[in-house]
Structure 1
């Protein structure tokens, strides 16, 4: 046997039989660990204890004779070997998840109605493809989509008046399950009528006295409160001159020159390229705010809702977050 730099013993003979003895459950657990970036969050998602998750990770590392994660306090990142195993695990999950549909009786027809609540401007090719595939496979399922504010989406799910929600959710809700759908980076922008438009070599101090266009949830305790915290920490003195719960209206007001505003980079990329708005510092962005798939864990699902959730989770498990835009 030979030793690896990570301290694991590598047995070339044992490697030959890896395919026959590798436990798929360990790979699935590792897939969730990698997606969540945390042992504790993976445990909560899988409804297992943290020691059980840690033990599963240890067993997989021993079977593969490779260190798969790098621990940084409560957070973990994947090693190079871990990234490769993560990709393979996602591919295997996608294959395994197709077993159920393949074994369904051809005569089975899924019908019913799904009520989906969503914040505005969900921009994702993976999500669009998922919807197209779901409709192609289950054409008799009716989908009703309502666009609401994040707070209203969460409230409706807690009251069990909707099937699922796509929403910001700054504070986890004990009764709601959540999965990261999109990771959005917010940054400052101004419109072409603004005095900072087109100016290069700007610094954060150039923005400190500027007035703002703000989301109504951009306040302490709101879903976009990290934007408020950032302004307070940086000593910004400008006032809020316009606000709206709608991303489209915030973009309209920024473009009209009311003030600078914080918007998701990927959503306004085309507007920047068209010289309608101008990117401002800080160049690394202001804050990352996730969009989640949410549902009430206590709500009894119909067959249509169960299949929708199964397919949605399959899409999330088999695509990288960064590649969903």
Structure 2
């Protein structure tokens, strides 16, 4: 004979409470980072621990839960169906828990919470810097995390609800993504010290038509940086693609090392021009506008700290 229904119900409830009591939330935090990175080495670097320590934490968590969360194939890992569900639940719980801290006496009106911000590299804006200063002064109990990534990955992460906001490139309307222009950005052509054009006195567009190019791996028609491609095609550039990277810093490095002429945002690399590491090339009015936007998932509910961050950032860029 089995247990009476009410006793069986109590047993199940007790089992659920036992899991909550014995579950190590440090293991959950480790798992969240692993699930975001899908790479144990990168997860270990973010957590400032060794890779074996991360592997051991995942094993312990799987043992506590009683099922497999990840599958490994060499250096690559993927989440199981159960792992995906645990990732979704744990991330939601962690966000909720971050808002539970009771405010200290006299701090009842302060905003408490966490904002995760994804950003492309080299966001050059004194106004943005000042906003961060002012925001932290007004809301010292809001934790801000900033992660730098490629523009395409940034949009994908926002669609997957992996962050509060993005600061990046979004030239055309994109499904599920709200955007507000905050930093106008103009691209121009540059060459480095070791390039043969660096010391030339008179350079015009025709001089550049057959030069080797350094560009972004995503620089193709229809992509975020397609205005650069359109300019290249409209002016009849015939130079071969000599080097490319998805990272702005690496594109700059390749240009400075003489692999070819290349496209960079003017303001972000003004210092390199001033110290002589780069030379700005024609045309004088630059190439194309590829502006930086504040981006967020239109289907993701905002928590108070996130809403305040968005509203105050947009207000800062609407002033004068």
| Offset of residue 106 of structure 1 | 6.1
1:283 maps to: 284
1:172 maps to: 173
1:217 maps to: 218
Q: Which runs of 4+ in 1 moved over 4 A?
A: none
Quick check: 1:231 aligned with 2:232?
A: yes
SS for the counterpart of 1:262 is strand
Ranges in structure 2 where 5+ consecutive residues have no aligned partner = 1-105
SS for the counterpart of 1:268 is helix
2:272 maps to: 271
CA–CA distance in 1 between the matches of 2:234 and 2:124? 30
| Offset of residue 177 of structure 1 | 1.6
Which structure has the greater CA radius of gyration?
2
Alignment of 1:99-138 (within 5 A): 107-138=108-139
Give yes or no for contact 2:182–2:314 (8 Å, CA) kept in 1: no
| Offset of residue 201 of structure 1 | 2.2
SS for the counterpart of 2:184 is strand
| Offset of residue 241 of structure 1 | 1.0
What are the Cα deviations for residues 201-251 of structure 1, in whole angstroms up to 9, with x where unaligned?
211010011001111121112111111111112111111111111111111
CA–CA distance in 2 between the matches of 1:266 and 1:310? 25
1:318 maps to: 319
| Offset of residue 252 of structure 1 | 0.8
Cα root mean square deviation, aligned:
1.4
CA–CA distance in 1 between the matches of 2:199 and 2:268? 20
Cα gap change, 1:113/1:106 in structure 2, threshold over 3 Å: closer, same or farther? closer
| Offset of residue 128 of structure 1 | 0.7
Report the TM-score when normalising by structure 2: 0.65
1:242 maps to: 243
Give yes or no for contact 2:189–2:263 (8 Å, CA) kept in 1: yes
| Offset of residue 188 of structure 1 | 0.6
Quick check: 1:255 aligned with 2:256?
A: yes
CA–CA distance in 2 between the matches of 1:201 and 1:242? 25
2:205 maps to: 204
| Offset of residue 107 of structure 1 | 2.5
Aligned residues: 215
Quick check: 1:185 aligned with 2:186?
A: yes
1:58 maps to: none
SS for the counterpart of 1:267 is helix
Quick check: 1:156 aligned with 2:167?
A: no
| Offset of residue 281 of structure 1 | 0.9
CA–CA distance in 2 between the matches of 1:306 and 1:226? 32
Report the TM-score when normalising by structure 1: 0.64
SS for the counterpart of 2:268 is coil
CA–CA distance in 2 between the matches of 1:147 and 1:246? 10
